[in-house]
Structure 1
């Protein structure tokens, strides 16, 4: 895979080279050091598509999974076997690209490979991982009207990792911290939602 690919070109090549569906593991393997960024993009896809309520409950755990692996200094995303085999629709990916064409185009204009230590240093990977774990957990909560705000911040993370741009990643850190602080201002409401969410999960078992 050409290291000079931008995020949008990456999606276009996937759609061109793999019409129909492609197992998720094969898709990630094709992008080696870009794989965490691609996995993050795929994880937040439900947050931007017109799905029924609960899209964050799909995206959130996957975002946190990516964060945990970055915290553990993993070089490539690990997925459970059932998720490795899950087919990814390249048509859905292309719709995602079209839906987010404007923010993606802006991010690509300001992104380029730079500040590699912000991407590869152990402390930087741990910082990204910790923020992704927290943001993924918050995205999973049933908080109304938060899918897009969390999704946009996570989009900045994903593009930074795909473009290997440490400066854009620093911006993603700042936006992530601001978002967590804003949620913390409503900590009582979040605690109630967490309790309600936990009770619903417990009722399933």
Structure 2
């Protein structure tokens, strides 16, 4: 966005508008992503963060992790917009449930939106999408692993990542890159300590 372009709606408002403009009690992933066009990567990440904050069947973290891995791979190879398989695009979600989720995370999104603004935008575009893709692969891998008590942490990382991409905030994006690296090191240390504890115990 240049200084002469009009200010676009913020992330949560855009997603809410997309949901409210869709008739029916349930919406497909395709219906949510279609109006978002070039910012679909960020919004898809936001959708993938949702199961980390609501009661879901055991093992859903692994499924979400695989989907985040796939999305990271797409960014890694330089796709401008995410490619989503047809069966996932047709997957339906409760519109009211998504709206309730937006209400629930509103205190967080409000703070993020105050911090976010288009800056260092080059970092949100190619060739730096390679770095974002690699970081997303790390988050997806950690989500897929059965590491206890980490869903909220990785979910929060996905939300911050999503906002950085949607708002084209390169500064926040770098902060996400750095924080992910720290979390990867901490998770590896915690997992090693946990394995050592159980090995000694038995």
Post-superposition offset of 1:6? 0.9
- Cα distance in 2 for residues equivalent to 1:121 and 1:83: 26
Q: How does 1:1-205 map to 2 (within 5 A)?
A: 4-19=8-23, 20-122=25-127, 124-188=128-192
- Cα distance in 2 for residues equivalent to 1:7 and 1:73: 23
- Residue equivalent to 1:196: none
3-state SS of the aligned residue for 1:128? helix
- Cα distance in 2 for residues equivalent to 1:18 and 1:159: 22
Cα contact 2:164–2:170 (8 A) shared by 1? yes
3-state SS of the aligned residue for 1:185? helix
3-state SS of the aligned residue for 2:27? strand
Post-superposition offset of 1:186? 3.1
Superposition CA RMSD, Å: 1.9
- Cα distance in 1 for residues equivalent to 2:19 and 2:86: 24
Q: Highest CA radius of gyration, 1 or 2?
A: 2
Cα contact 1:11–1:93 (8 A) shared by 2? no
- Cα distance in 2 for residues equivalent to 1:189 and 1:126: 32
Count of equivalent residues: 190
Cα contact 2:68–2:136 (8 A) shared by 1? yes
Post-superposition offset of 1:189? 5.9
TM-score, L = length of structure 2: 0.87
3-state SS of the aligned residue for 1:5? coil
Residues 111-131 of structure 1 show CA distances to partners (whole Å, capped at 9, x for unaligned) of: 011211110131x10111011
Larger deviation, residues 11-20 vs 57-66: 11-20
3-state SS of the aligned residue for 1:170? helix
- Cα distance in 2 for residues equivalent to 1:63 and 1:189: 26
Post-superposition offset of 1:23? 2.2
| Structure 1 alignment gaps of length 5 or more | 193-205
| Structure 2 alignment gaps of length 5 or more | 1-5, 197-202
- Residue equivalent to 1:201: none
- Residue equivalent to 1:195: none
Post-superposition offset of 1:3? 6.6
Cα contact 1:11–1:94 (8 A) shared by 2? no
